[in-house]
Amino acid sequence: MEIKIAVLAGDGIGPEITQQAIKVIDKVCRKTGHKPEYSEGLTGAIAIDKTGNPYPEDTHRLCMESDAVLFGAIGDPRYDNDPKANVRPEKGLLEMRQKLGLYANIRPVTTFGPLLHKSPLRKDIVDGADFLAVRELTGGIYFGRPQGRSEDGNTAYDTCVYHRFEIERICTLALNFAMKRRRKLTMVDKANVLATSRLWREVMQELAPSYPEVEVEYMFVDNAAMQIIQWPRRFDVIVTENMFGDILTDEASVITGSLGMLPSASIGVHTSVFEPIHGSYPQAAGRNIANPVATVLSAAMMFEHAFDCEEGGRLIRNAVEASLEAGVVTGDIDDTAPASTSEVGDWLAGWIEKS
């Protein structure tokens, strides 16, 4: 089967980590009978520098014509430190999500035995934690209108807007994920304060009876933030709106011990995007020290969600487990004898080739 993959390496460490994922993808394709075709596109700060647009039309066309998008990272200190910048790299990410209809971000939070000691939480708290966060991605306060500042510059405003159809599709997706897992779903909101959250609860209460096997609970976001840290093993599938999901999934990422270990998939109407959850880490760019595993595990999700190839995902996850057991890891995991970014990529690709 021929597969077309758009590679949007982006900024900072993006080119280095996507290169390692491609090494792994190539080896998996040889095992599974797929024939990959890669095409590169610009996005983020590098796209602004070259075209003035963080998500150029050529890049969007490339994504639409591909079977999946492998995404690196975006962000640049030049824009982070300039609050008056008219165009920002992150705008390209939001535009891509909107144009591709990427309404759902899927983030698995899974602990790894060899890394339990790296978590800031006690081993007995995090050991066995395994839940899936389903975040709505194209609505809410990040996209709400009106948005702006007053003419005198002393007042700024953002609006949080959700439509019933947006909530229905993300809740339905989350319920279906719960059916495939341990059949427990936690909806996170702020229904005691926000009208949008009350609409979320109303929609979920309408949908839930069609999934009688799934236990549905409702939790305020502040309580959820506390319980994710205190009892992460109590969660199976979490579904929530855009901003809450952004914050909670970053909080949950520390459970594993390293941001460099967590993948994600953004799926929706058109081509799905697979990317690590970490940022562009500009301090490490070009130094061959960044952890590529989150990007590699995102490729595992790509095989499963975009190519319907469970074997490919399993091969990659087994390779990652083996690398952790063997101690072939970057400095964020073990700084005593760290492997480089490319060495980790080579090791994972070699393990898959030999398996």
Which residues are known to be catalytic?
Answer: 142, 190, 222, 246, 250
The tokens of 139 are what? 């609505």
Quick one: CA dihedral 197, 202, 208, 210, positive or negative? negative
SS3 (DSSP) at 285 = coil
The tokens of 272 are what? 């799905």
User: Dihedrals φ, ψ of 93, to 5°?
Assistant: -65, -45
Beta partners for residue 156, in sequence order: 149
CA proximity to 187, closest of 240, 134, 223:
240
d(CA 133, CA 120): 20
DSSP state letters, 220-262: EHHHHHHHHHH-GGG-SEEEE-HHHHHHHHHHHHGGGS-GGG-
The maximal CA–CA distance of the chain, rounded, in angstroms, is 65
The answer to whether 25 and 5 have CB atoms below 8 angstroms apart is yes
Find out whether the peptide bond into 338 is cis, omega within 30 degrees of 0.
no
The tokens of 281 are what? 């880490």
End-to-end, the C-alpha distance of the chain in Å comes to 21
User: Dihedrals φ, ψ of 262, to 5°?
Assistant: -110, 120
